[in-house]
Amino acid sequence: MSGAPPVLELRDVRCAFGDHEVLRGISLSVHRHEVVALIGASGSGKSTLLRTANLLEHIGDGQVLLAGEDISDPRVDADAVRARIGTVFQAYNLFPHLSVLDNVTLAARLVHNVPRARAEARALDLLASIGLGAKAKAFPDTLSGGQQQRVAIVRAIATEPELLLLDEITSALDPELVGEVLDLVRRLKDDGATILMATHEMAFAREVADRVVFLDQGRVCETGPAREVLGTPREPRTREFLSRVLAP
């Protein structure tokens, strides 16, 4: 084992909206090349947890570390932190007035100062690799939901982030479009990406995640290898949750 710190580490993180404490002392880590799936009932805090990791949510207490650096320190430049993290949300959030190519290259050019020609060459390679090379000049609204979400993922990886946060990326898709997006995540894993993803797709979590973290009312209730947590859960609450979501 190398002594490298985890890519992401949360230490006893708390987050509240008014009186409602949504994250109640979360500790977890994601190591390089690891895929970790966050599962849990609606409202258990999955999205909020992801949002604390890229500093979109106020961290009431605890620490968030990115590659060992305490990014929850208020003196840290949040934009510089976010430039190191790729995030994909449920709603693909592509810029409607920009072509697919411009969507994919925007952050590389404006945030990372990559010359346009180099950014476009990489974007075209990435788009070709997901079968969307011919759509480079198209606008998002001419693409299917699955295509738009794959473009959003490619946009997130175009800047070669240290960490990818995926928040329910298939939830807004028609069922027949889910597979193509999950195929892309499988490929990112095979390419060695480091991913923390909130998902309702248990079969996918079992197949792709190295570890699963089950959140229950803002706390980590159970964590472990995906096959163990999803196959033979130890905690009654995990069993109850899984029996509900896996019911035919």
Ligand X SMILES: Nc1ncnc2c1ncn2[C@@H]1O[C@H](COP(=O)(O)OP(=O)(O)OP(=O)(O)O)[C@@H](O)[C@H]1O
Q: Name the residues that contact ligand X, by CB under 6 A.
A: 17, 22, 40, 42-48, 168, 198
Q: Work out how close the CB of 216 gets to ligand X at its nearest, in angstroms, rounded to a whole number.
A: 10
Q: Work out how close the CB of 143 gets to ligand X at its nearest, in angstroms, rounded to a whole number.
A: 24
By the 8 A CB rule, do 44 and 218 touch? yes
Residues in CB range of 83: below 8 A, 6 or more apart: 107, 111, 112, 159
Residue with Cβ nearer ligand X (44 or 194): 44
HEC string for 57-97? CCCCEEEEEECCEECCCCCCCHHHHHCCEEEECCCCCCCCC
89 backbone dihedrals φ, ψ, rounded to 5°:
-100, 175
Q: Work out how close the CB of 209 gets to ligand X at its nearest, in angstroms, rounded to a whole number.
A: 16
Residue with Cβ nearer ligand X (147 or 149): 149
- Among candidates 144, 145, 146, 126, which has minimal Cα distance to 136? 126
Q: Work out how close the CB of 79 gets to ligand X at its nearest, in angstroms, rounded to a whole number.
A: 21
Residue with Cβ nearer ligand X (104 or 182): 182
Residue with Cβ nearer ligand X (123 or 197): 197
Residue with Cβ nearer ligand X (102 or 168): 168
Residues in CB range of 34: below 8 A, 6 or more apart: 7, 194, 195, 210, 211
Q: Give, as one character, the DSSP assignment of residue 32.
A: T
Q: Work out how close the CB of 7 gets to ligand X at its nearest, in angstroms, rounded to a whole number.
A: 21
